[in-house]
Amino acid sequence: MTRRYSIFALVRNALSYHENWPQVWRSPEPRPEYDVIIVGGGGHGLATAYYLAKEHGITNVAVIERGWLGGGNTGRNTTIVRSNYLWDESAALYEHALKLWEGLSRELNFNVMFSQRGVLNLAHNQHDLRELHRRINANRLNGIDSEFLTPRQIQAMVPIMDLRGNGRYPVLGASLQRRGGTARHDAVAWGYARQADARGVDIIQECPVTGFRITNGRIEGVETGKGFIRAKKVGVVVAGHASVLANMAGFRLPITSLPLQALVSEPVKPVIDTVVMSGAVHAYVSQSDKGELVIGAGVDKYVGYGQRGSLPVTEETLAAVCELFPLFRRMRMMRQWGGIVDTCPDASPIISRTPVENLFFNCGWGTGGFKATPGSGWVFAYTIARGEPHPLNAAFSLDRFRTGYLIDEHGAAAVAH
Amino acid sequence: MLLIPCPYCGPRSETEFSYGNQAHIARPEDPDALSDGDWAAYVFLRDNTKGVYLERWVHSHGCRRWFNVARHTVSYEILAVYEVGTPPPDIELKTEI
Ligand SMILES: Cc1cc2nc3c(=O)[nH]c(=O)nc-3n(C[C@H](O)[C@H](O)[C@H](O)COP(=O)(O)OP(=O)(O)OC[C@H]3O[C@@H](n4cnc5c(N)ncnc54)[C@H](O)[C@@H]3O)c2cc1C
Ligand SMILES: [Zn+2]
């Protein structure tokens, strides 16, 4: 039984020295058969399971994760959330997610620390500036809050930024989405896991999916480290490993898996209370509640499944960060890591049926899927439950690479994250 | 940082090279005969292998020549370098899950 978290629970448990908190979710052995198996226990997979149970009443569900919950990109990302994408299809999808974020802590009874501290996207040259205005106008037509900031207004918001960019990256303007911000990545996975479990979903960790059983073009179940598990439907949400699982199922994806890296600095006093992104120089900065600077970098240029990130990319990002924020030059970086992102040729996700009946894929979020976690789970649950996409994700099909209806957010959405 | 052995210039650091993704994708012989699905496969679909991957690199800031590399995409070990237009070397194309 999941007990509600509240101030009273906190006080009650404080009295017993916090030794009697109940387990947050069960760790059951897999049953022989499920209505739906979700492969991948990141935020997207757990959200999918939660919405399957909550919105569609499908509770005979297992989430199968090779490692631990949120140990993939969910727990490795720089947590920027925004919805100011250029094209109508993306704007609708990401805005749907942002609306869910706005009520998420309450809905999950779990503090996901969603902080709408605003997200700035910088323009460094005339071309950037024109693209920025175009995107701001497109956002507004789609009812998404988006405004232009002059250099003077930027300086007022982020006094520590050098607007001359030391001559190298001059800042000519920025877009601002005030409703954007950051969230606590682990909490998102844990919050969804706890509520999915409460509704009967089995969460099975340390259990890799090693193959699919497919008969006459129809899915029968998955082969796993704990044996064969039968399923009526299977949804795969494994981020950087999407191609690996598609190859197991006998088809290929238009995806390239690349390491994307991030760094955190030593903790310092509050110096920046918003999120600053610069797509052009591949540097993204915010400050965590612990005081660390959270810095996102660019992707490696070659296919890689090593969760590291290459050194030239680290160097390039830190060089840009130092030009924009001279104050950070003497700051030490505490940790650096990488996650494997599933990049798509048009920088948009694939949330789709596949050539195999009752096998669904949700992938291609690349460098920017954390922000979509609630919305992605919501539309994927719908797609699996109904066997067809929701209007919000209909355009994000695998078939768009055949029809040519690409949703090209490369550059359009101010790149990355 | 990768040290890539250019077959023409010798080992150089990764920053001198650009990447061309999967090797051995032949341009369709009769483009007019292709269906939309065939085009999609040619243009977009890739193996994106976790394991030994046969891929193309170009020494952009050196001799500017293209060549093929067999590289393990988890350990990043470079197992073989060979000329464009030649068949892949006789190594086991191991994959991982
Ligand atoms: C450094 C970095 C910074 C980023 N910054 C941002 C940002 O600021 N904003 C933003 O919106 N997005 C960002 N992203 C992207 C974002 O993290 C991802 O798009 C998103 O988290 C993907 O969620 P997911 O649940 O699909 O993937 P994951 O959390 O990676 O979950 C997939 C799970 O599948 C499991 N799996 C893989 N293979 C198997 C198998 N065979 N069997 C069973 N399980 C398997 C993995 O172990 C993993 O836990 C960033 C990513 C990185 C790496
Ligand atoms: Zn050379």
pTM, to two decimals: 0.97
Poorest-confidence range of A4-8, A29-33, A214-218? A4-8
pLDDT tens digits, residue range A128-182?
999 999 999 999 999 999 999 999 999 999 999 999 978 889 999 999 999 999 9
* Residue located nearest, by CA, to atom 48 of ligand 1: A72
Say yes or no to pLDDT of A208 above 90.
yes
Cα distance between residue A276 and residue A175, in whole Å: 10
Q: Do B46 and A252 count as a contact with CB atoms less than 8 A apart?
A: yes
Mean pLDDT over A113-122 rounds to 97
Q: Does B47 touch chain A (CB under 8 A)?
A: yes
The CATH number of domain B3-83, selected from 3.30.70.100, 1.10.10.10, 2.60.40.2310, 3.30.2270.10: 3.30.2270.10
Q: Which ligand is nearest to the CA of B60?
A: 2
Confidence of residue A324 (pLDDT cuts 50, 70, 90): very high
Pocket of ligand 1 (CB under 6 A): A 39-45, 64-67, 71-74, 76-80, 208-209, 237-239, 241, 260-262, 296, 339, 341, 365, 367-371, 417; B 97
A296 φ, ψ to 5°?
-100, 145
Q: What is the DSSP string of A222-257?
A: EEETTEEEEEEEEEE--GGGHHHHHHHHT--BS-EE
Say yes or no to pLDDT of A43 above 60.
yes
CB burial class (10 A; 0-12, 13-18, 19+) of residue A319?
A: middle
Query: Taking CB atoms and an 8 Å cut-off, how many pairs form between chains A and B?
Result: 78
pLDDT tens digits, residue range A396-412?
999 999 999 999 998 65
Mutate to test the pocket of ligand 1, among A203, A207, A367, A378 (most ligand atoms within 8 A of CB): A367
Q: Do A255 and B74 count as a contact with CB atoms less than 8 A apart?
A: no
Distance, first Cα to last Cα, chain A = 37
Q: Which ligand is nearest to the CA of A185?
A: 1
Q: Output Rg (C-alpha) for chain A, integer angstroms.
A: 21
pLDDT tens digits, residue range A221-270?
999 999 999 999 999 999 999 999 999 999 999 999 999 999 999 999 99
The answer to whether A80 and A274 have CB atoms below 8 angstroms apart is: no
> How many helices (DSSP H) and strands (DSSP E) are in chain B?
1, 6
Q: Do B96 and A305 count as a contact with CB atoms less than 8 A apart?
A: yes
Residue A413 is predicted with a pLDDT of 46
* E-assigned strand segments in A165-241: 173-177, 181-182, 202-204, 209-215, 218-224, 227-236
Per domain, the residue ranges of chain A are 115-177+257-343
Say yes or no to pLDDT of A281 above 80.
no
Q: Output Rg (C-alpha) for chain B, integer angstroms.
A: 15
Mean pLDDT over A102-126 rounds to 97
Residue A3 is predicted with a pLDDT of 81
Q: What is the mean pLDDT of chain A?
A: 95
Confidence of residue A333 (pLDDT cuts 50, 70, 90): very high
| Residues of B with Cβ-Cβ distance to A303 under 8 angstroms | 21, 48-49, 53, 55, 73
Residue A205 is predicted with a pLDDT of 98
Q: Which ligand is nearest to the CA of A340?
A: 1
Residue A1 is predicted with a pLDDT of 54
Q: Do A247 and B47 count as a contact with CB atoms less than 8 A apart?
A: yes
**For domain A115-177+257-343, is the CATH number 3.30.9.10?**
yes
Closest residue by Cα to residue B42 from B57, B22, B56: B22
Say yes or no to pLDDT of A24 above 90.
yes
Q: What percent of chain A has pLDDT over 90?
A: 94
